[in-house]
Amino acid sequence: MINIDRFLADEQDPKAVEKVAGKLNDLLTSGEEILYLAVQKKPAVNLLPDCIAISNKRIFYCSPSNLGLTMNFKDISWKNIKEVSFKEGLLGSKFICVPQSGENIVTDFIPKTQVRKLHQAANQQLEEYKELLRQQKLEENRATASTFNIPAPSPQVIDLPIEEAVVIPEIAPVAEVNKEDEIEQKLIKLKTLYDKQLITREEYEHKKAAILDSM
- The pTM of the full predicted model, rounded to 2 decimals, is 0.63
Q: Give the model confidence (pLDDT) of 85-119 as tens digits.
A: 999 988 889 999 999 999 999 999 999 999 999 99
Clarify whether residues 97 and 202 are in a common domain.
Answer: no
Clarify whether residues 198 and 138 are in a common domain.
Answer: no
Contacts of 215 (CB under 8 A, 6+ apart): 179, 180, 183
pLDDT at residue 160, as a whole number: 55
Clarify whether residues 133 and 206 are in a common domain.
Answer: no
Facing residues of 54 across strands? 36, 59
55 falls within a domain: yes
Q: Which segments of the chain are extended strands (E)?
A: 34-39, 51-55, 58-65, 70-77, 81-89, 92-99, 105-110
34 and 28 Cβ atoms separated by less than 8 Å: yes
151 falls within a domain: no
Q: Give the model confidence (pLDDT) of 176-199 as tens digits.
A: 556 777 888 888 888 888 888 888
Q: How many domains does the chain divide into?
A: 2
Clarify whether residues 120 and 209 are in a common domain.
Answer: no
The C-alpha atoms of residue 15 and residue 52 are separated, in whole angstroms, by 15
Nearest to 73 by CA among 30, 118, 34: 34
Range of the domain at 192: 175-213
* Residue 5 DSSP class: G
122 falls within a domain: yes
CATH number at residue 32: 2.30.29.30
